[in-house]
Amino acid sequence: MVRKRTLILTLVIVIGFLLGISLLVSKVLLKEKEPIITLTVVEDEPSLLHLPLYVALQQGYFEGQGIRVRLAQGTRAGSNDEGIPNADVVFTDPVAFLFHKAVRPAAPVIVTTVAGHDGTFLLAKEKEDFSWNNLKEKRVISFPPETGPGLALDKKLRDNGLTPFRDTGIYHRIPQDLRLGAFKSGTADYIQLAGIQALTAEQDGTGFIATPVGDREDAFPAVLCAVSRETINKQPQAVQIFVNGLYKAQLYMAREPELGLKAAHKFLSKNERQQTDSLLEQYVAMGMWQPLPGLDEKTFGALVQAMEVSGQLPAPVKFSSTVNNDYARQAAETVQYIPPEERDKNWLQKLFS
């Protein structure tokens, strides 16, 4: 009886082993036959705000599913006669995108949120216990209102009872390379700076970081992911795989922050590594990359309203023709976090677990 049980157990193990081998071989053979699809992804410039993209690239979330990503920066991707980038995917500032969408309805469609909060900081002349009321009757060098950071500050001031240009002086037309010099010379009491630049300026003694403009409670996205209509029509499965990869990166980064650190070190400037590490901590605390199922209608409405109030929207923009959340919803339903101890199991361990 014992020998019979041993024989049966041995047969089960052998059959399981052979089944596993055959599945593995068939999977490899099928993978080799699947065509590799290349998606061109445009980003204005490398940015820590794009970290889910870099994590997905480093961890192989795209290539593992038959997608090759080609990164292109800014205008190097070119554009067609309508001014629409010759790219499959665009990582975009929400304000610039919505303005573009208002004047060119054929512009790409938003499929998900990459970074959920503004990533800039206010630098003050003196160290202080900050409250937004401190900006009353003060002067601020801000980003232009037709950019996400500029609109985020405009909205934050209005939300705190301050009307830009009336209660708080705003200088938003100072050229980029002259902004810090103007602040040092006394033109303004505060200056709005991008993350790395703000940390560097504080380290150099130019001023003191008073507050981030974005925060965990304020859903005001800094980076959106938009896909061309042509790519959606021709390669819907590739779009789904790409959105799945971004969502998976956000999901895993929330539980394993070291993934973000490794990707930041690989894709961003080594000269700014110290500031990058510090900024990453602050963004994580802010919930910058919390897994988000697309761009919800409430957040979209807040963006549009803020643009209308500040005079930045030349024509109405409808949620239904601007956002497609189907891919993000599918990603949220199908992509799951697998703990390291489960990922490290070999196929035989998984078979018997």
SS3 (DSSP) at 81: coil
- Mean pLDDT value across residues 300-325: 93
Mean residue pLDDT of the chain comes to 87
- Which pLDDT value is given to residue 26? 57
Q: What is the spatial distance between Cα 346 and Cα 176, in angstroms, rounded to a whole number?
A: 53
What is the percent of the chain where pLDDT is above 90?
71
Checking if the pLDDT of 79 tops 60, the result is no
SS3 (DSSP) at 184: helix
- Which pLDDT value is given to residue 110? 97
Do 127 and 341 touch, CB atoms closer than 8 A? no
SS3 (DSSP) at 139: strand
Ranked by mean pLDDT, which of 26-30, 291-295, 335-339, 348-352 comes out on top?
A: 335-339
The per-residue b/e assignment along 267-289, b for 16 or more CB within 10 angstroms, e otherwise, is: bbeeebeebbeebbebbbebbbb
Tokens of 289: 């990359």
- Which pLDDT value is given to residue 342? 74
Checking if the pLDDT of 245 tops 60, the result is yes
Confidence band for 216, pLDDT divided at 50, 70 and 90: confident
Checking if the pLDDT of 60 tops 70, the result is yes
Checking if the pLDDT of 276 tops 60, the result is yes
- Mean pLDDT value across residues 207-213: 95
Checking if the pLDDT of 106 tops 50, the result is yes
User: Which of 279, 242, 305 lies closest to 114 in space, CA to CA?
Assistant: 242
Confidence band for 116, pLDDT divided at 50, 70 and 90: very high
pTM score: 0.85
Supply the DSSP symbol for 187. Answer: S
- Mean pLDDT value across residues 81-89: 68
Sorted by where each starts, the structural domains of the chain and their CATH numbers stand as: 35-117+221-343 (3.40.190.10), 121-212 (3.40.190.10)
Return all residues near 237 (Cβ < 8 A) that are at least 6 apart.
none
Q: What is the spatial distance between Cα 56 and Cα 246, in angstroms, rounded to a whole number?
A: 6
- Which pLDDT value is given to residue 214? 92
- Which pLDDT value is given to residue 22? 59
Q: What is the pLDDT of residues 161-204, one digit of tens each?
A: 999 999 999 999 999 999 999 999 999 999 999 999 999 999 99
- Mean pLDDT value across residues 285-308: 92
Number of residues in the chain: 353
Residue ranges of alpha helices (H) inside the chain are 2-33, 51-59, 94-103, 148-159, 179-184, 195-203, 229-234, 236-255, 258-267, 273-286, 297-309, 319-322, 326-334, 340-343, 347-352
Checking if the pLDDT of 237 tops 60, the result is yes
Checking if the pLDDT of 1 tops 90, the result is no
In angstroms, the Cα distances linking 78 to 19, 42, 94 are 50, 10, 20
Supply the DSSP symbol for 268. Answer: S
List, in sequence order, every residue forming a beta bridge with 67; answer none if it has no partner.
Answer: 37
- Mean pLDDT value across residues 255-271: 91
Burial label for 231, CB within 10 Å (0-12, 13-18, 19+), is buried
Q: What is the spatial distance between Cα 347 and Cα 344, in angstroms, rounded to a whole number?
A: 10
- Which pLDDT value is given to residue 352? 53
